[in-house]
Amino acid sequence: MRRRIRATATAGALLASLAIAPVPVLAEAAQPVTRVDRTGLGWAPCKDLEPQGDEALECATLTVPLVRTAGGDRVPGADETVELALSRVRATGTSQRTLLVNPGGPGSGARRWASITHQRMPEELREVYDVVAFDPRGVGASTPAISCDPDYFTPVRPDTVPADGAEEAALRADAQAYAEACAENTGTLLAHTRTEDTAHDMDAVRRALGEDRIDYLGYSYGTYLGTVYSSLYPDRVRALVLDSVVNPDNPWYESNHVQSRSLQRAAQNFFDWVARHHDTYRLGRTGDEVAEAYYDLRSEARRNPIEDTVGPTELETAVIVVTYTSSTWPGVARALSTRINDGDAAGIVTLHKAFGDHADSDQSYGGYLAVQCTDAHWPTDWSAWRSDALLAHEEAPFIGWHNAWYNAPCLNWAAGSGDWFQVGDAPHEHRAYTGPALIVHATEDGATPVEGAHALRDRLPGSVLVIEDGGHTHGVAFTGNECVDQIVTDYLLRASLPDRRTTGPDLICASRPEPRPSTRREDLKAVAEGAGAAIPELPGEPG
């Protein structure tokens, strides 16, 4: 739940039979009272953003209030504003609808996803849909921007697994200093970056587009954003696609510890795959042997950082990409193999450059914290953090301590925190969206455990859950699973969904084949460059 990760998505899948039932169209509703400073958008060719292909990519800005009431109105007397940066790819035919896309994060810029999504969609959707994305407040090209401390990421960073009390104290001091730097360098914006703030911004975008209702596609953290938006503005949703779901019942602190365990399982899937191809990678004939080889390399990087750049923290930050999609497995396995067996560090350094944290990660990390630290309450006593981190490390050594430190600035976050936006029908909960919604999730997704998809299905009474059985990809829609893509297309075009069963999942799609082993340099290059595709970002570590 925090990283910008790009990678190739595998293609090909079995098409499951679809039991399609019509979905009723929601009635029109009166205009909401959300106020913005300017309606209408001045679209022009983007000056700072390149399209994925030959499509025409347009950009615009929209001014919205910095501070709003709980209902979305401008607070009287509060004149500060935020400039949201938007992007759009127009329909190839006659535009009939608008698809608003969010790739998750939080803290991730989203504008490039208008182009990415347009490229991924089937032609029948491209013909009728404008695709729009915007950088959430504080990140990307939106202003004012979040700024904390770019030097925080200078390698070689301290090992996230403290060897003693002194190292633990130093890591705590670093986390506190980063939180203080965010407060000093960003100011009042940090108190107005909750998910509800972005949901109100979404509705301002809808109004500026001149749309009575929007279709929404949210990946990862974007599923929580879509859940909150649909609760606040239920009459403004035509279609709601939520892919790779954040568990609505787990506030961020709890969510991160659950995620550490699921990332461990996902990493073990990678280790097991490498073991099945021992003849290619020579890292072990069992998953445990491959894992041991990886952890030995991590220990070596602590003693002698690779190329004086990649220590244990840099290594785990780069290799974690394997828990997001199996398409990265051949490239990462090759990088590990050539370093462990041949002493060639080039692949590891390439992974770090592509996926590791650098000075330019400051805004996205600060943006991640700005949302997570204020969205829900966090333990105020370090002893609770420490106890949970030790248990997480014992059960999930791949990323347990790292995840704890990634979120540790929330212990000293100056902006404070609020109550988790819980949807449901209990007295203390926000009323959940009751209209039709499509939930999509892969069973082996490490970043957002599949249990969250079932929990959200239970919370949204009009939703249908489609599972990619055995799938390893975080972000399934429009990444090559023909079964899933057909269901999403039918829903968006024809308001049709599979039948909802008594209990979920409501339909199961077969996963795409596992990648084949390879030692080609091109495999690592494709992983590092992203091959024109991207994996959504997420909430928590890393997400």
The interaxial angle of helices 252-276 and 287-303, nearest 10 deg, is: 110
Angle (nearest 5°) at CA 228 between 222 and 229: 85
Which pair of structure tokens corresponds to residue 252?
A: 């961020």
Token pair of 317 as six digits = 């930050």
Rounded to whole angstroms, the Cα distance separating 142 from 125 reads 28
Spatial distance between the Cα atoms of 131 and 55, rounded to a whole number of angstroms: 12
Q: 67, 34 in Cβ contact below 8 A?
A: no
Catalytic residue among 200, 402, 441, 474: 474
Residue found by looking up tokens 């959200």 in the block: 456
With CA atoms as reference, report the closest residue to 2 among 310, 321, 291. Answer: 321
Q: What are phi and psi of 418, to 5 degrees?
A: -125, -175
List 220, 244, 327, 511, catalytic entry: 220
Residue 408 near residue 256 (C-beta atoms within 8 A): no
Which residue shows structure tokens 């039932």? 21
DSSP 80-143: -EEEEEEEEE--SS---EEEEEE--TTT---THHHHHHHHHS-HHHHTTEEEEEEEPTTSTT-B
By DSSP bridging, strand 20-22 and strand 44-45 are unpaired
- The H or E element spanning position 157 is none
How far is CA 214 from each of CA 410, 422, 490, rounded to the nearest angstrom? 34, 23, 16
Catalytic residue among 149, 445, 506, 523: 445
Known catalytic residue at 445: yes
Phi and psi dihedrals of 439, rounded to 5? -110, 130
Q: Which residue has the tokens 């297309």?
A: 489
Q: Catalytic residue numbers? A: 220, 445, 474
